[in-house]
Amino acid sequence: MFTGLSAFPLTPLVDDHLDEIAFSALIGRLNRAGVDSITALGSTGSYAYLSEQERARVAHLAVENAGDTPVFIGVGALRTSQVLAHATAAQRAGAAGLLLAPMSYQPLTEADVFELFRTLSEHTDLPVIVYDNPGTTHFTFSLDLYRRLTELPGISSIKIPGVPALAAEAREHVAKIRAVIPEHVSIGVSGDASAAQGLAASCDVWYSVIGGTLPELALRITRAVQADNTTEALAESARLAPLWELFAECGGSLRVVAAIAEQLGLAQRSCLPLPILGLDHSDRARVAACLIRLGL
């Protein structure tokens, strides 16, 4: 289940309320495209900005519109009790797995993070993805913490940050992680610009931002690696270099994928939760030009 392409869709808003029609359409679109799984309420899904009730509704809509595609639900929150409440709601909605990032305001220790995951693993029967995203959480997982966490029951995958650009360094990086975790735990790469390299370096799954909005493009890369055609995968990723450059220059991927969704009519204008304003006019023009070059 934790292999291939896992697409991370936006959670579009309209007038500061959940846009249920747009979100449901995004999920249905991913199912029809043939992604291997859908991860709702990841960072791309703005989980940290939504209320408990909104998140429960998103989980329900995601499962309802995903057909037979497995749905993983992000359950990160500042307090452990809130994480457990989100996990319970996700399980009731029919989620196939949970994604947990160690959110914090005060800096967390490794002991804090281990206890968080241990408590969740005891609370739920669903498999859990460890979400290592230092860019948003400001917490860095050590190899030893990976080892300890993956000894817990139910920990089934690790979502790692982007791998090094050079193939040999990427393989070495992934191999070091693989050496300390059980064989049944999958390694998933994020950081879309390095995804092709990560998959080629033996990552099992791509936890993909762009896959949540432009699934066909992400599937070309994923399926090429699965067919042992790394050259094609890297070429497809290189073709998307203008997108990766926008991600890097616009403060991350969220504003860019929101602009893409708005440009393609998949979400209404200003679909992000305030105070996130989205891209300005000039960067939106760059997004539009990029989509034209990609034939979209």
pLDDT in tens, 220-246: 999 999 999 999 999 999 999 999 999
Question: Are residues 30 and 61 in contact, defined by beta-carbon separation less than 8 angstroms?
Answer: no
Beta strands 13-14 and 205-208: pairing type? unpaired
Average pLDDT over every residue of 157-185: 96
Q: What is the Cα–Cα distance from 166 to 164, expressed in whole angstroms?
A: 6
CA angle 247, 241, 11 (to 5 degrees): 40
Other C-beta atoms lying within 10 Å of the C-beta of residue 63: 22
pLDDT bracket for residue 132 (50, 70, 90): very high
pLDDT bracket for residue 206 (50, 70, 90): very high
pLDDT bracket for residue 217 (50, 70, 90): very high
Tell me how long the chain is: 296
Residue 268, pLDDT score: 96
Q: What is the Cα–Cα distance from 185 to 208, expressed in whole angstroms?
A: 18
Residue 127, pLDDT score: 98
pLDDT in tens, 245-295: 999 999 899 999 999 999 999 999 999 999 999 999 999 999 999 999 999
pLDDT in tens, 85-129: 999 999 999 999 999 999 999 999 999 999 999 999 999 999 999
Which residues fall within 8 angstroms of residue 84, CB to CB, at 6 or more apart? Answer: 119, 120, 123
Residue 34, pLDDT score: 98
pLDDT bracket for residue 216 (50, 70, 90): very high
Residue 272, pLDDT score: 98
274 secondary structure, DSSP code = T
pLDDT bracket for residue 145 (50, 70, 90): very high
Residue 198, pLDDT score: 97
Q: What are phi and psi of 85, to 5 degrees?
A: -65, -40
Helical packing angle, 80-93 and 52-65, nearest 10°:
30
Question: Are residues 146 and 180 in contact, defined by beta-carbon separation less than 8 angstroms?
Answer: yes
Q: What is the Cα–Cα distance from 49 to 242, expressed in whole angstroms?
A: 28
pLDDT in tens, 146-160: 999 999 999 999 999
Residue 293, pLDDT score: 92
CA angle 253, 258, 260 (to 5 degrees): 95
